[in-house]
A and B are shown apart, each in its own frame.
Chain A
Amino acid sequence: MNRNYLLIISLLSVGFSACNSTDPVPSQPYDNGVLVINAGNFLDNNGSISLVQRTSTTASYDIFQKENSRTLAGSLSGYAEVNEKGIILVDNSTAGKDGIEIVDARTFKSLTSIPSTEVENPRAVAKATDTKAYVTCWDVTGDFSNFYKNPGYVAVLDLTTNKLTKKIPVQNGAESILVIGNEAFVGNTGSGMTKITVIDIATDAVKQSIEIGRNPELVGLDVNNKLWLYAGGEMIRLNTQTKTVETRFKITSPNASKSPSSFTLSADKKTIYFTHSFYDAADGYLQKGETYSFPIDAAVVVADKPFINRLFSGGLGVDPQTGIIYAGLVPSFKQAGYVLRYQPNGTLIDSVKAEIAPSTFFFKK
């Protein structure tokens, strides 16, 4: 049974979380550097967070365990900081055992654990205000014929009391979330839903939903304050003021079976990086692909000249301070992965050994 189960589980993808930064204060062990969120291997429940300094090629491993003498009991799906508190999303392989750990972001000492009874399948977290975070959740999943069987929700986390205060129902498979001004935009994965949800941060209520396309994924806000999304196989640019789609186009490629993922914006918010890959049936289903980029004002995007001639299944991140690209390399889920760092022009700088499945990055001061 377990191998059957593993087979299916292995097809699930790893989610992404938004990256925000916080205010600087006197020196503590985790004030500076880049946090690498290692998703871990699903049934092993061994997600972890490593700290990589910007100038060092070694990492501190499993910093939560180091500071709290216990490991995070699950895969990790997201991390964000709000007012010097770190919010870690933990997804255990057993339903009913997920949770949210809240730590002092500067010492990584645990402040509280939101119990598993209050949150199920947390997927991404975003800072809403200085005292509030939003956590997207799938709720309980079904079997594989109807996996996203329940409507998703956005859990409202009050960081003055460290408690969940509300669950805002949203579309099934709720995943990516981005806070823009007084609104939070919520995308989804897998469920086939086509609309993003807009939440009013002041009232924690759904304001409206906007038709975008199948399984809309939020990419980020560009230099012109336009929201980029990927849905239904198309790149979409949304005017967040008028809530209207300004443009949509397909990324074309000489190889039609490739699909894009791991979108991230450059530090100047003028370029979008992404990976483009496929499983080559002619070569024993070997995953093949590269990393590409396009400027936000491009009228057509043809993924034929790789920006980095390499594929990263773990995800991409960009350091807002330096513009350096962090790429997560996952050789397998049974060994440590690596973080490869690239100059904004695509030149490789170095690589740092991380932990299992480095998937998202959080850039500290």
Chain B
Amino acid sequence: MIYKLLRFVSCIHILVLSAIAPHLYAQKEQSLCEVTVRGVRPERFMVGQKVQEIDSVQLTRFHYSTLADFLQFQSPVAFKSYGAGQATSIAFRGTSANHTAVLWNGVNINSPSLGQSDFSTIPVAGFDQMSVQYGSAASCVGTDAVGGSIQLRSVPDFRQKGLQTLAAFRLESSENYTGQVGLRFNHKAGKNWIISGKTSLYGSNLNNYFGTNPQRTRQGESYSFEPTRTTQKGVVQDLYWQHQKGNLFSLNLWLTDNTLTIQPHQVPLREVTRTQAYRVLGSYQIGKTLIRTGFIRDVIDYGKGENLTPSHTEIDRFILRAEHDFSWIQSCDKGTNLKIGAELVHYNARVDGYGDEVKRENRADVYALLRHQFNGKLSASLNLRQAFVTRFSPPFTPSLGVEYTAFTRPRTKISFSGNTSLSYRVPTLNERYWVNLGNPELRPERGFNKEIGVTWKQRLAEMNQFSVSLTAFHNLIDDWTYWNPERNYRVENLQQVLSKGLEFTFGLKTQWHKTQLDANLNYGLTDASQQKTYGPYTQDFIGKQLIYVPRHTFAGTLTATHGKGSLTVQQQFNSARYSTFDHSGRPFAPYYLLNAVLNYQFQKGNFRSDIALQGNNLTNTVYPNLKKNAMPLRTLSLNVIFYFQSKQTTNES
């Protein structure tokens, strides 16, 4: 399989070898003169770290997807899925799902009870921009960012004219249906203000129906489908008021409601998990000062059978953050940025498993992010963070990063980067408060991450450029928590994990006759293993690849655009994954997935439509999820988006 894959990859190289993906590292590369109007995004301080900006064209094209379905083709991270439409988490660089911070407009939205996000409940439609950061970034973003972080952002579009309405639907042959309506507007209010906003409503009914017969893999294993239904609905409301002088009020609201029913057709057998999130942020950016307040409520209800008396988890967070950006800019190539900030979060947890008492706690973070650009070639960052948590003491986490451009020619640029950082994870509320099994005495997990990288960017012509980057990382995570079976599954700080590996990224943008080709290929080699024994029968684990971490991962997206038509091909490969610490039993076999989307754009006057035919899992690969049930086979879907742009006068009135 891997040989086939490599051959395929090299064919692609030959086909289109020449050029860059400008979206890679875009924000990090802005010159000092470009970035200073308002606050500076935290990624800018991640000097020496790998940050992948996800192409907005891809985000638009896969608007219907969940983040779980979308991201696996964009990035070489490991996915852990309990089934299509079921809990899916991701893990960076050999770490666990708890080691991924998911931030929405800068605020960590991981479930506080589980310390992770279920990517099957996050639709791509819920945000406007996304970047994926690899490695520890706790000094920039706080807890959980031990293995990596995902930044989801809502951004105003003040350049847009008038009112744009959108209606979209997707029909997939596996009885999956998705619909969405929305509008974006931009309105000049009085002399000094512009109001911009976005309203979006979406809903899905995903049955993932592939019949009832078991399917055989190419290796001869047989897997059957688990009957499930996932319904999703959500509302996104973004409003921005911008003053002529640049001050900005923002209101971001995102409500999600996800219901997973296992055995939906047999009421006595069914298992229902409803996950809801209410997220509201109000921000005020005055000059270089940002004041942000927020409220997040995460609700999980789980019940079985006819009379659902669900077990209930409800956790509220009240957030207050203040940040100020300082900058001392001497030229576009030389200057210093400093961001200092503080955040307070109050938690209220009403969880059946924690007993009758409402668990309350306060968390605070103070941070200083410093970036200095010495000249056009050398920049460095020093970031410091100290968190405070009720009845708990997180460690001080600094990070230091350097980027150096060793070679610059008009068409060629070779740069080196390096970063070293400490990271931490505050244990989840379940880990600390679960009656008897939780352990209030837990220590924070601590990571020590080092990485170096080299990037080569080559421009052959205006529309003909490529970039290649290679990153090596080494992340030692100590006090990794584990639900210890010897202690009736009580949580303890038992494990020490060393994760090291290489990541290779290839980005390409080129033109071939009148066809534009874009490619983004990612390969990851990960070696993650237990370093210390923690019991008499753990000797066997030392040095063995951690469970669910594939040694080789590959994710690639290729797009060919010709006039109004385009073809996008997505691929993913995962090598074998073990489900036991000692590698006993049969590992999950390697698998390869191939999707393709044929898109055509119609335009008439103010009316525009994108019509796409999408084929998922074209090779009809049978592969299992963690529960050993079959994952989706080949499907075909019709995706349609209608845009209507109102007369442009609204803006001018």
Q: Which chain A residues have a beta carbon within 8 Å of chain B's beta carbons?
A: 1-7, 10-11, 43-46, 48, 61-62, 65, 69-71, 73, 93-97, 120, 140-145, 149, 279, 284-287, 330-336, 353, 355-356
The 0/1 profile, CB within 8 Å of A marked 1, for residues 422-463 of chain B is 000000001000101101000000000000000000000000
Q: Check A48/B313 contact, CB under 8 A, given A7-B437, A70-B221, A335-B541.
A: no
Q: With the chains together, A281 CA to B434 CA distance in Å?
A: 15
- Chain B nearest CB, measured from A182 CB (Å): 34
B70-115 at interface with A (beta carbon < 8 Å): 82, 87, 113-114
Q: Check A284/B487 contact, CB under 8 A, given A1-B275, A4-B113, A334-B580.
A: yes
B269 pairs with A96, CB closer than 8 A: yes
Q: Which residues of A contact B310 (CB under 8 A)?
A: 143
Q: Check A4/B313 contact, CB under 8 A, given A48-B585, A140-B305, A284-B492.
A: yes
Q: Does B584 contact A (CB under 8 A)?
A: yes
Query: Considering only CB atoms, which chain B residue lies closest to A95 in the complex?
Result: B269
The stretch of B25-33, B157-165, B222-230 that contacts the partner chain: B222-230
B113 pairs with A96, CB closer than 8 A: no
The 0/1 profile, CB within 8 Å of A marked 1, for residues 481-525 of chain B is 001011111101000000000000000000000000000000000
Q: Check A335/B540 contact, CB under 8 A, given A1-B300, A96-B269, A285-B490.
A: yes
Q: Check A44/B487 contact, CB under 8 A, given A70-B221, A143-B311, A355-B584.
A: no
B224 pairs with A2, CB closer than 8 A: no
Q: Does B627 contact A (CB under 8 A)?
A: yes
Query: Considering only CB atoms, which chain B residue lies closest to A336 in the complex?
Result: B584
Q: Check A4/B430 contact, CB under 8 A, given A44-B579, A140-B305, A334-B547.
A: yes
Q: Does B543 contact A (CB under 8 A)?
A: no
Q: With the chains together, A309 CA to B548 CA distance in Å?
A: 36
Which of B87, B263, B305 touches A142 (beta carbons < 8 Å)? B305
Q: With the chains together, A7 CA to B351 CA distance in Å?
A: 14
Q: With the chains together, A141 CA to B114 CA distance in Å?
A: 25
- Chain B nearest CB, measured from A84 CB (Å): 25
Q: Does B43 contact A (CB under 8 A)?
A: no
Q: Does B358 contact A (CB under 8 A)?
A: no
B102-150 at interface with A (beta carbon < 8 Å): 113-114, 118
Interface majority SS (helix, strand, loop, mixed), chain B: loop
B485 pairs with A96, CB closer than 8 A: no
Q: Which residues of A contact B483 (CB under 8 A)?
A: 3, 6-7, 10
B628 pairs with A45, CB closer than 8 A: yes
Q: Does B353 contact A (CB under 8 A)?
A: yes
A1 pairs with B302, CB closer than 8 A: yes
Query: Considering only CB atoms, which chain A residue lies closest to B535 in the complex?
Result: A331
Q: Which residues of B contact A286 (CB under 8 A)?
A: 486-487
Q: Does B303 contact A (CB under 8 A)?
A: yes
- Chain A nearest CB, measured from B446 CB (Å): 21
Q: With the chains together, A6 CA to B273 CA distance in Å?
A: 14
Query: Considering only CB atoms, which chain B residue lies closest to A9 in the complex?
Result: B489
A355 pairs with B585, CB closer than 8 A: yes
B303 pairs with A143, CB closer than 8 A: yes
A71 pairs with B628, CB closer than 8 A: yes
- Chain B nearest CB, measured from A359 CB (Å): 14
- Chain B nearest CB, measured from A95 CB (Å): 4
Q: With the chains together, A46 CA to B584 CA distance in Å?
A: 11
- Chain B nearest CB, measured from A98 CB (Å): 10
B221 pairs with A71, CB closer than 8 A: yes
Q: Which residues of A contact B271 (CB under 8 A)?
A: 94-95
B537 pairs with A331, CB closer than 8 A: yes
A-B contact pairs, 8 of them (CB 8 A): A4-B313, A7-B483, A11-B489, A95-B263, A143-B309, A279-B487, A331-B537, A332-B485
Among A4, A44, A70: residue with most chain B CB under 10 A: A4
Q: Which residues of B contact A70 (CB under 8 A)?
A: 220-222
Q: Which residues of A contact B191 (CB under 8 A)?
A: none
- Chain A nearest CB, measured from B50 CB (Å): 29
